[in-house]
Amino acid sequence: MARLGVNIDHVATVREARKAKQPDPVAAAVLAELGGADGIVVHLREDRRHIHDRDVKLLRETLQTKLDLEMAATEEMVRIALEIKPEMVTLVPERRQELTTEGGLNVVANRDELKKVIDLLHEGEIHVSLFIDPDLAQIKEANKISADLIEIHTGRYANSRGRDQRTELHQILEAARLASKLKMGVNAGHGLDYTNVVPVAQIAEIEELNIGHSIIARSILVGLERAVREMKDLIAGRS
Ligand code: PXP
């Protein structure tokens, strides 16, 4: 059964809507863990639009599970990661104007920069995951530059329907199989929700699903612990 990493960025989005102290993503992480989260994911963006440095520091001290720090491959973020020492870092592309992370990393085009960042993080004993589209050439390159894991971008799958969605699912499956064959860890995420998660969760090679918006949105109505538990049940095939 795939593990569940809960992305709590949007708890901080609500806080930042009023530049207030509440809701505190650190409190949300405690509740997500009580609901069965296997890890907590936060994206510290260059513009600090939701998660702040303070959140990452406190999460590092308080989490009972593991911290996955999502970040761009910049000097500033590498310095922060080496200070905080999360269990793992997920490198993502980042653009200021985007609402959320739009595409996967282009590992083929940026291999030298990414390799440098991966090497620095490895010196700090941090596992490194690369967020990439289900594209076999990108996965082979991720393996060549020593990424420990990949996170397959499921956004296109989540946004498509019918036959197109089945094609996207098949690409995710092929990508997961290749990464697993290359002995990399395989995560997946983006746009997964209570209606589309099951077929992805059934791919045996996928070890962890990272899910944010749908869980936080549901939590406003049913509470975070329950929202996480309901997602865990779906992933486990219990409902
Ligand atoms: N994985 C990565 C790399 C992401 O950037 C995001 C969005 O922050 C997610 C997973 C979670 O996506 P969603 O909020 O759509 O569940």
Per-residue pLDDT of the chain (239 residues; tens, 9 = 90+): 999 999 999 999 999 999 999 999 999 999 999 999 999 999 999 999 999 999 999 999 999 999 999 999 999 999 999 999 999 999 999 876 677 667 899 999 999 999 999 999 999 999 999 999 999 999 999 999 999 999 999 999 999 999 999 999 999 999 999 999 999 999 999 999 999 999 999 999 999 999 999 999 999 999 999 999 999 999 999 97
User: Phi-psi bin for 23: left (phi > 0), alpha (psi -120 to 50), beta?
Assistant: beta
Farthest-apart Cα atoms in the chain, separation: 47
| Domain region containing 57 | 3-235
Cα-to-centroid distance, 120 and ligand 1 (Å): 24
Q: What residues are in contact with ligand 1 under a 6 Å CB criterion? A: 7, 9, 43, 70, 90, 92, 100-101, 131, 151, 189-192, 210-214
Which is the closest atom of ligand 1 to the Cα of 70? 3
Best of 6, 156, 210 for a ligand 1 pocket test (most atoms within 8 Å of beta carbon) = 210
Most informative mutation of 10, 101, 105, 218 for ligand 1 (most atoms within 8 A of CB) = 101
The answer to whether 117 and 91 are in contact (CB under 8 A) is: yes
User: So what's the pLDDT on residue 95?
Assistant: 76
Cα 191 to averaged position of ligand 1 atoms, centre (Å): 7
State residue 221's pLDDT score: 98
Beta bridge partners of 127: 88
Q: Which atom of ligand 1 is nearest to the CA of 101?
A: 5
pLDDT for 239 equals 74
HSE-CB at 215 with a 13 A cutoff on CA atoms is: 36
The rounded distance, in Å, linking the Cα atoms of 214 and 237 is 18
Angstrom distance (rounded) from CA 155 to CA 213: 12
Classified as helix, coil or strand, 6 is strand
pLDDT for the residue 85: 98
pLDDT for 229 equals 98
Residue 101: predicted pLDDT: 67
Structurally, the chain folds into a number of domains equal to 1
Give me the active site residues, please.
43, 70, 190
CATH number, domain of 27, equals 3.20.20.70
The pLDDT value recorded for residue 102 is 72
Check residue 94 and give its pLDDT: 87
